[in-house]
Structure 1
């Protein structure tokens, strides 16, 4: 029993805490505590009954709610890159009949993960399909075309009520809580083995100077191909390409020429591809009229109005996904008199690659949408592979003037292009008509290009880099090998260190 100590009442004797008022107060305190305990028990009991945890009549009533039996008929609209509705709830199990309405510019499909079946709808078309749901539960539906799920084409299907699916109402309605954004440094994931005997992609084709004084119609055919190749030692990757190389073949015309462009998409491709010429004046640079499904082709004409060096790339949504897999190249539009003659020309493009595994991890890597959106490439490369510009890929001689057509496909990272040990005699910044002289490093944006000319005066190996030099560790280096006699008047090692 509770004890309260208080002074004796005035006019009363006895020991402290022994009067009648003290006993009454203690009794009221005890009764109050008992009442609070009883109220708490009632609240807990009512909650248990209401939530089905107490085994009482209320729980039995919820559990007894019957499942409906299909068919269930629903329309789902697909665009770039979402489904409407993003959440579907049906009353039970059975046949789920989906009408997929594709209002997008490219093909989309609809699958329910864990359930047989797929609906594939070409751009602008409507296709129907049926999925057989044998059990109540929570399912995920997605577009399985590469990159589309990661870009946002997924939703949640609830078959049955929260009671029958075994989930809380908030989870059934909204799905699980979003995951925390992962840190950049992640543990290595498990990979499939690298493709045996895979070779690097071939070097891109470079076109010679036009050497023509009048305008003409130039017919160009490019085929998009999805090719598995060696990206680095022990690492393979499936590139998306123009013509089977990264970058794609150079296109070279004269200002005023009419270009008749045929784009073919190889029948083995998994997705639609297209082309956007930065040199073309017209909607999408051609992309709007070249969204070509696998096995088909499209043709359009455009006039090369402006001289310069221009990027072309795939512009099928998600555009950055297609570019990051290698879908870019250069088009050179020569001025009427052509560019000044040089002894050798080279064709180089820089790109950033977003692999699911870690850099250097052996195996076959898939594309990582997450890394691309965070702009954290595992590799940065010249011409599509580590070492593509080494082992004699670029050779010249002392006394020659060389030209490099250089572009950045991206999709995200710009370049501070530099050749260690050389100064560019002329730079056509961003492909401009008029060059500037005596440049050490030239900034090239993503989706941009330049021309650099310089004369070789001393033999040796000259390293091509992006002067954001941490990128060397991601594979971004090339070697221009220069042969010829020494030139001590310009460079003379007076007291060289002994060779190791």
Structure 2
């Protein structure tokens, strides 16, 4: 009898499922719907200079037979309709390789100064077909610009707050307390501005986000972005293996040009403000890379800069179908911290670098997604479209 009383107590403590999430999971719709798959083409794989790697257009021909084949092959699950990317002012395909290098100049001591202009503003964005979210943004987009610098650069960010609330830019990295981007050290009131300045270190895959309070609100409303610090190869000459890896990560080198690099920010959206997410995504748009698979050249390796900023869930994850990869936690090492894995988990603000090769694979569409089924069904589902000649 004591067992059943205890069980009854535990059952009554279970939190009921959010009805909006239940409708979405059940194949119903919310302001546009999340139902059967309609693959609308394929996204370009691009190098750092935004040139297409495989031949062909950004979007594959909308062949109904091919779309139906893909729908059946990949579970019949994604959003119906199209997000108006022009209205949003950003496109998830372009975000994959949109590195903001700032304005570079040389200081008297010979170091490189990189200057950035970042503005916070309130903006409604469409995160799934017909589903709009009242976001707080950096430079009008979610996630904000991907800032990319080199180890040892002096970074200067002029931050202007054109939003309706106090905001900051808190960088994960090494810097002085007065540059921390928290209330009392870099917070800008509406209509104000603040200039952050620090040396870029350590190298790795990092992020920035608003650290005004309440913190969870400022995070889930969209104020975050990736901050990548490429290693300076000259600092790693003593070890030939490290030097080679550093060269491959340094944007603009011939070694880096060989890689297909992508930034992927895992995020979620609480559309009814009950502190549970109704939409999950990479780079904000639900099922963006299912509807437009990311086209990659099998002859060139893939490097993914992966960042988790999902609020209201303790972890997010990345799982790859049909292949394994190496993982560099935080990107602060030049040798993998995990080898030959197909799934990694990240808590909020954790990040890392994933390296993948499809050189020995047949052509085709390879899934990658969160390995929390609910996240995948609510938007965090994607495809690599592997193309190229066999070796």
Extract structure 1 runs of 4+ deviating beyond 4 A.
Answer: 180-183, 186-189, 208-214
CA contact (8 A) 1:199 1:229 kept: no
Deviations 1:373-420 (A, max 9, x none): xxx322221111212224436221121111111100122432221222
Aligned-partner Cα distance in 2 for 1:209–1:402: 21
Q: TM-score, normalised by structure 1?
A: 0.52
Which residue number corresponds to residue 340 of structure 2? 438
1:181 Cα deviation after fit: 9.8
Deviations 1:199-256 (A, max 9, x none): 2441336328999997411111111122212121221111211122221111111111
Q: C-alpha offsets along residues 295-339 of structure 1, whole Å, 9 cap, x if unaligned?
A: 321112111231111111111111111111121111111111145
- Corresponding position of 1:419: 320
Q: Which of 333, 346, 355 lines up with 1:453 in the alignment?
A: 355
| Aligned partners of 2:277 and 2:312 also within 8 Å | no
Which of 301, 305, 320 is matched with 1:401 structurally? 301
TM-score by length of 2: 0.65
Residues 188-267 of structure 1 correspond to what in structure 2 (within 5 A)?
199-200=84-85, 201=88, 202=90, 203=92, 204=95, 206-207=98-99, 215-266=111-162
Q: Which one has more relative contact order, counting CA pairs under 8 Å at least 6 apart? A: 2
Task: Give how far 1:186 is off.
Answer: 4.9
Cα distance change, pair 193–434 in 1 and its aligned pair in 2 (3 A): closer
Flag the structure with larger Rg.
Answer: 1
- The separation in 2 between residues aligned to 1:464 and 1:378, in whole angstroms, is 20
Q: Which residue of 1 aligns with 2:65?
A: none
User: Residue 439 of structure 1: CA displacement?
Assistant: 2.3
Q: Which residue of the other structure, out of 279, 284, 304, is the alignment partner of 1:384? A: 284
Partner of 2:384: 480
Report the count of equivalent residues: 285
The answer to whether the 8 A contact 2:105-2:114 is kept is: no
Q: Among 349, 370, 379, which residue is 2:265 paired with? A: 349
Counterpart of 2:371 (choices 467, 476, 481) is 467
- Are the aligned partners of 1:265 and 1:295 in contact in 2 as well (CA < 8 Å)? yes
Residue 166 (structure 2) aligns with:
272
CA RMSD of aligned residues (A): 3.1
Please give the secondary structure, in 2, of the residue aligned with 1:410: coil
Return the alpha-carbon distance in structure 2 between the equivalents of residues 290 and 181 of structure 1. 42
Q: Specify which of 148, 162, 182 is matched with residue 287 of structure 1.
A: 182
Conserved 8 A contact 1:226-1:238:
yes
Structure 1 residues 382 and 422, CA gap change in structure 2 (3 angstroms): same
Q: Tell me if structure 2 keeps the 8 A contact 1:279–1:331.
A: no
What is the alpha-carbon distance in structure 2 between the residues aligned to residue 326 and residue 258 of structure 1?
26
Structure 1 residue 452: deviation in Å? 1.0
Aligned counterparts of 1:454 and 1:212: Cα–Cα separation in 2: 34
Residues 1:410 and 2:310 aligned together: yes
Between the aligned partners of 2:116 and 2:219, the Cα distance in structure 1 is 21
Query: Distance between the aligned counterparts of 2:232 and 2:327, measured in 1?
Result: 19
1:108-127 pair list within 5 angstroms: none
Provide closer, same or farther for how the CA distance between residues 181 and 467 of structure 1 changes in structure 2, counting only shifts above 3 A.
closer
Distance of 1:252 and 1:347 partners within structure 2? 11
Partners of 2:182 and 2:297 lie apart in 1 by: 41
Q: Which runs of 5+ in 1 are unaligned?
A: 1-179, 357-367, 488-500
**Cα displacement (A) at 1:183:** 4.7
Which consecutive unaligned segments of at least 5 residues does structure 2 have?
Answer: 1-11, 22-29, 33-81, 234-245, 249-255
